[in-house]
Structure 1
Amino acid sequence: MRHLALCFCMTFFFVLGGTHTSVAQTKTPLLIPGKTTLFERVLTRPGAKLAATAGAPGTEAIPAFTPLFVYARTPGANGQPGFLQVGTDAKGKITGFIAEDATIPWQHALVLAFTERANRDRVLFFKDQQPLLDWLNDKDVAAKAAEARQEIDSGKLPPASPIVSIEPEVPVDFEKNFYMLPILEAQNRRLATGFQVRTVKVASVTKNADAAPVEQLRRRVNPSALENFRAGVVFVIDASSSMQPYIDRTREAMDGVLKQVEQAGLADKVRFGLVAYRDDPTKVKGMEYLTKTFADPNSIRSDKDFETATQDVKASKDSTRAYAEDGYAGIDKALSGVDWKGFGARFIVMITDASSREGNSPLSSTKMNTDQIRQLAQSQGTAIYTLHLKTASGAKDHATAEAQYKSLTQYPGVGSLYYPVEAGNPDAFKSTVQQLAEALVKQVADAQKAIAQPGDEPAPAAKTSKGAPTIDQSASQVGRAMALAYLGREAGAEAPSMFEAWASDRDFAHPDIAPFSVRVLLTKNQLSDLQRTLQTTVDALEAAQVDPGDLFNQLRSAAAAVGRDPSKIGQGQAKNLEATGLMGEYLDGLPFESQIMTLSQDDWTAMSVGEQQAIIDGINSKIRLYQRYHDDTTHWVALNPGDDPGDTVFPVPLESLP
Structure 2
Amino acid sequence: MPWKTEHRERSFAHTFAFGSLLAASCVLWMPAAQADLSELEGDHGHPSQTTGTPSTPPAQPIDDGLSCPGDSPCIETATQLTLRVLPRPFSNIYQEPVADGGAIVQANPPAFRPLYAFERRDIDLREGAEPRGWYRVGRTRTQADGWMQAKDVFEWRQALLVSFTHPGDPIEGRHPVLMFKDRETLQAIVDDMDMAASAQALYDEIDRGGTPEAVISLEPKRFVDITTHFYMLPILQWSQTQIDGDDVRLLQLASAVPGARGADTLQTPEYREQAQTGRDTADQGIEDIAVDIVFVIDTTRSMQPFIDMTRDAVARMARNFSERTQDRFRFGLVTYRDSLEAVPALDYLTRNHTPTLVTAERLAEILDTDAKATRVGSLGYDEDVFAGVDAALRQSPWREKSIKFVILIGDASSHLKGDAHNSTRKDETDLRREYDDANVHLLAIHLQNPKAAEDFPRTLQQFGTLARIRGNPSEQALEQVDTAQEDAYRRLVDRVTAGINTELERTLAAKAPVAPTSPGSATSPTVPGTPPAETPEVLSSVSGIWQAALIEYIGQSANPPKDIVAWSLDRDLINPADRALEVRVLVTREQLSSLAQALDSVMQALMRAEVTQAQFLESLQSVSGQAMKRPDDLAQAQRLADTGLLPAFIQSLPYRSDVLALTDEMFASMTAEQRAQLEWSILAKLEQYRAINDQVDAWFRLNDTDADSDMVYPLHIDYLP
Scaled to the shorter chain, the TM-score interval is 0.7 to 0.9
Q: 1:548 to 1:405 in 2, by over 3 A?
A: farther
Question: Distance in 1 between the 2:690 and 2:250 partners?
Answer: 33
SS at match of 1:480: helix
Q: 1:360 to 1:607 in 2, by over 3 A?
A: closer
Amino acid at match of 2:234: P
Q: CA deviation at 1:70?
A: 0.8
Q: 1:340 to 1:85 in 2, by over 3 A?
A: same
The 10-residue stretch of structure 1 (523-532 or 216-225) with the greater mean CA deviation from structure 2: 216-225
SS at match of 2:615: helix
The 10-residue stretch of structure 1 (596-605 or 102-111) with the greater mean CA deviation from structure 2: 596-605
Q: 1:338 to 1:66 in 2, by over 3 A?
A: same
Q: 1:144 to 1:245 in 2, by over 3 A?
A: farther
Q: CA deviation at 1:563?
A: 1.7
Q: Which residue of 1 aligns with 2:143?
A: 93
Q: CA deviation at 1:548?
A: 7.2
Structure 1 residue 239 and structure 2 residue 278: aligned? no
Q: CA deviation at 1:431?
A: 2.5
Q: 1:216 to 1:521 in 2, by over 3 A?
A: closer
Q: CA deviation at 1:423?
A: 5.2
Q: CA deviation at 1:236?
A: 0.6
Q: Which residue of 2 aligns with 1:621?
A: 684
SS at match of 1:94: coil
Question: Distance in 2 between the 1:439 and 1:593 partners?
Answer: 45
Contact 2:105 2:146 in 1 (8 A): no
Question: Distance in 2 between the 1:459 and 1:133 partners?
Answer: 32
2:600 to 513, 531, 535: 535
Question: Distance in 1 between the 2:643 and 2:469 partners?
Answer: 37
Q: Which residue of 1 aligns with 2:543?
A: 476
Question: Distance in 1 between the 2:92 and 2:606 partners?
Answer: 51
SS at match of 1:513: coil
Gaps of 5+ in 1: 1-24, 464-469
Q: Which residue of 1 aligns with 2:262?
A: 209
Contact 2:477 2:544 in 1 (8 A): no
Contact 1:556 1:567 in 2 (8 A): no
1:374-416 CA-to-partner distances (Å, cap 9, x unmatched) read: 2221111001122122214544433332222223233332223
Which stretches of structure 1, 4 residues or longer, exceed 6 Å deviation after superposition?
280-283, 448-451
1:57-116 CA-to-partner distances (Å, cap 9, x unmatched) read: 313232222211111123389x994221112333x3222222222222111112222222
Contact 1:637 1:650 in 2 (8 A): yes
SS at match of 1:243: helix
1:275 to 331, 334, 341: 334
Output aligned runs, 1:71-470, within 5 Å.
71-75=118-122, 81-90=132-141, 92-118=142-168, 119-138=173-192, 140-159=194-213, 162-191=214-243, 193-205=244-256, 207-209=260-262, 213-219=268-274, 220-221=277-278, 222-223=281-282, 225=284, 226-260=286-320, 262-263=321-322, 265-279=324-338, 287-294=346-353, 298-300=357-359, 302=360, 304-312=361-369, 313-342=371-400, 344-358=402-416, 360-415=418-473, 416-422=476-482, 425-447=485-507, 459-461=518-520
Amino acid at match of 1:35: A
SS at match of 2:696: coil
Q: 1:531 to 1:232 in 2, by over 3 A?
A: same
Q: Which residue of 1 aligns with 2:112?
A: 65
Contact 1:519 1:651 in 2 (8 A): yes
Question: Distance in 2 between the 1:115 and 1:47 partners?
Answer: 30
Q: Which residue of 1 aligns with 2:708?
A: 645
Question: Distance in 2 between the 1:296 and 1:558 partners?
Answer: 40
Gaps of 5+ in 2: 1-68, 125-129, 523-536
Question: Distance in 2 between the 1:137 and 1:297 partners?
Answer: 56
Q: Which residue of 1 aligns with 2:7?
A: none
1:524-583 CA-to-partner distances (Å, cap 9, x unmatched) read: 111111111111112223344468782343345566355264545685x74x43354443
Output aligned runs, 1:1-20, within 5 Å.
none
Q: 1:341 to 1:529 in 2, by over 3 A?
A: same
Structure 1 residue 524 and structure 2 residue 589: aligned? yes
Question: Distance in 2 between the 1:229 and 1:453 partners?
Answer: 12
1:182-226 CA-to-partner distances (Å, cap 9, x unmatched) read: 1222444322x2122233221113535268812431332544632
Q: 1:610 to 1:294 in 2, by over 3 A?
A: closer
Contact 2:159 2:585 in 1 (8 A): yes
Task: Give aligned pairs, total.
Answer: 615
> RMSD across aligned C-alpha pairs, in angstroms?
3.4
Q: 1:570 to 1:494 in 2, by over 3 A?
A: same
Question: Distance in 2 between the 1:93 and 1:59 partners?
Answer: 14
SS at match of 1:625: helix
Question: Distance in 1 between the 2:690 and 2:377 partners?
Answer: 32
Output aligned runs, 1:580-619, within 5 Å.
580-588=643-651, 590=653, 592-619=655-682
Amino acid at match of 1:84: Y
Q: Which residue of 2 aligns with 1:20?
A: none
Q: Which residue of 1 aligns with 2:53?
A: none
Contact 1:233 1:349 in 2 (8 A): yes
Amino acid at match of 2:74: L
Question: Distance in 1 between the 2:224 and 2:399 partners?
Answer: 17
Amino acid at match of 2:155: P
Contact 1:278 1:290 in 2 (8 A): yes
Contact 1:232 1:297 in 2 (8 A): no
Q: 1:511 to 1:314 in 2, by over 3 A?
A: farther
Question: Distance in 2 between the 1:275 and 1:453 partners?
Answer: 30
Structure 1 residue 550 and structure 2 residue 602: aligned? no
Q: Which residue of 2 aligns with 1:485?
A: 552
Q: 1:613 to 1:564 in 2, by over 3 A?
A: farther
Q: Which residue of 2 aligns with 1:16?
A: none
Contact 1:201 1:503 in 2 (8 A): yes
Contact 1:257 1:438 in 2 (8 A): yes
Q: 1:628 to 1:184 in 2, by over 3 A?
A: same
Question: Distance in 2 between the 1:42 and 1:380 partners?
Answer: 31
SS at match of 1:69: strand
Q: Which residue of 2 aligns with 1:18?
A: none
Question: Distance in 2 between the 1:209 and 1:608 partners?
Answer: 57
Amino acid at match of 2:120: R
Question: Distance in 2 between the 1:154 and 1:181 partners?
Answer: 28
1:6-54 CA-to-partner distances (Å, cap 9, x unmatched) read: xxxxxxxxxxxxxxxxxxx98232222x524112111122223333222
SS at match of 1:586: helix
Q: CA deviation at 1:247?
A: 0.7
Q: CA deviation at 1:295?
A: 5.2
Q: CA deviation at 1:237?
A: 0.5
1:295-353 CA-to-partner distances (Å, cap 9, x unmatched) read: 578431x5x44422321121112234554333333223322333323454211011111
1:210-253 CA-to-partner distances (Å, cap 9, x unmatched) read: 68812431332544632222222211111111111111221233
Q: CA deviation at 1:520?
A: 0.9
Q: Which residue of 2 aligns with 1:37?
A: 80
Q: Which residue of 1 aligns with 2:640?
A: 577
Q: CA deviation at 1:457?
A: 9.9
Q: 1:37 to 1:457 in 2, by over 3 A?
A: farther
Q: Which residue of 1 aligns with 2:568?
A: 503
Q: Which residue of 2 aligns with 1:6?
A: none
